[in-house]
Amino acid sequence: MPRSSASEQSHPGMDTDLQPTSAFSISDVERDTGLAKETLRVWERRYDFPQPRRDAFGERSYPAEQVQKLRMVKRLLDLGFRPGKIMQHSTAQLQQLASAGSAAPSTPAPQLEHYLSLCRSHQMEELGGALRQALAVLGLKAFTIDVIAPLTGMVGEAWACGELAVYEEHLYSETLQTVMRHAIFSLPQASSPSTRTPRIVLSTLPQERHGLGLLMAEALCAAAGAHCMSLGVETPLTDIVAAARAQRADIVALSFSSASKQRQTRDSLQQLHASLPPSMELWAGGRSPVLYRQPPPFLHVLDLRQVDESIADWRRRHQALALQTH
């Protein structure tokens, strides 16, 4: 499973660009940054930041520059920083800390920089053509892991630093989805009767609106020969269960961003596990802390590079089981 997307890694994306004179409600800020309303209120009291104004109705109203800083605070929290250690830093200082603490290479591959440059200059047709060319050379697996995953991270970083507007990131996402969808649909269907092919239903949980991480997961599962059925994002739990049962799925695979709420994620996973047949496995990937801080024992947590081997391991286990029953 991917460690999710451009905006998927770092925010749930607003529909309005941050302009210097813009102001945003607390609900807007929660959606944009992934920081819960309760957290914002606690920080306001404890750290004297953020410092929202009040609108005509007495509701909190956050200036654009504070939302920009909150983006960087959220990114640093994902990297392991504590809020009390960073809250009084300027946005520029937070950006330096994020750059120093990021796991991404300090000097991205020139080709990735070229793709990002095309995105910045709104040359989306050229970007699509360049990505299709890279796909043809690398194949879907290497293209997803070595190009799309790091490029999406770079786009998310550029957004968090204010170098890309929300609409520019949306343009990137739409271009990428077009390229990836065509590649997935063009894959030959597995036809070997001797090889058990896992049936995988992919989705995100309600209020998890990020789709690029899910798309990368689907691409890698399909490239590994699995039969994939994507339900898209924000699927109600009852519908995930109904689809998995109707499709006789072997695996339900979920993608999470860092914006997912821990308690809600954990509760939803428990409920989903209890509703699925015992033989149906539950896989997940992404950047939710729930996946890496004492994940539920029934959950198979994996990242992009582990998808191929996880599916191969699933095949080995089911082949062994089939031999035992004959």
pLDDT in tens, 208-266: 888 899 999 999 999 999 999 999 999 999 999 999 999 999 999 999 987 777 888 99
Quick: pLDDT tens for 71-118.
888 888 877 788 888 888 988 888 888 777 654 444 468 899 999 999
Q: Which is more confidently placed, 186 or 19?
A: 186
For 274-311, the pLDDT digits (tens) are 999 999 999 999 888 788 878 899 999 999 999 999 99
Do 110-185 and 199-325 fold alike per CATH?
no
282-291 burial, b if ≥16 CB within 10 A, otherwise e? Answer: bbbbbbbebb
Burial of 163-192, coded b for 16+ CB within 10 Å and e otherwise, reads ebebebbebbbebbeebbeebbeeeeeeee
Q: Check: CATH 1.10.3720.10 for 110-185?
A: no
CATH topology of domain 199-325: Rossmann fold (3.40.50)
User: CA distances (Å), 192 to each of 188, 277, 297, in order?
Assistant: 12, 27, 33
Alpha carbon separation from 102 to 26, 51, 153, 192, 239 (Å, rounded)? 28, 28, 10, 43, 37
Question: Among 30, 28, 33, which residue's Cα sits nearest to residue 16?
Answer: 28
Confidence (pLDDT) at 229: 96
Give the model's pLDDT for residue 258.
76
CATH class of the region 8-101? mainly alpha
Q: What is the pLDDT of residue 171?
A: 94
The type of residue at 261 is K
pLDDT value of residue 7 = 46
Domain residue ranges in the chain: 8-101, 110-185, 199-325
pTM tops 0.75: no
Kindly state the average pLDDT of the residues 16-27.
65
At 301, phi and psi to the nearest 5? -95, 130
Of 215, 217, 146, 227, nearest in space to 182 by CA = 215
Of the pLDDT bands very low, low, confident and very high (cuts 50, 70, 90), residue 16 is very low
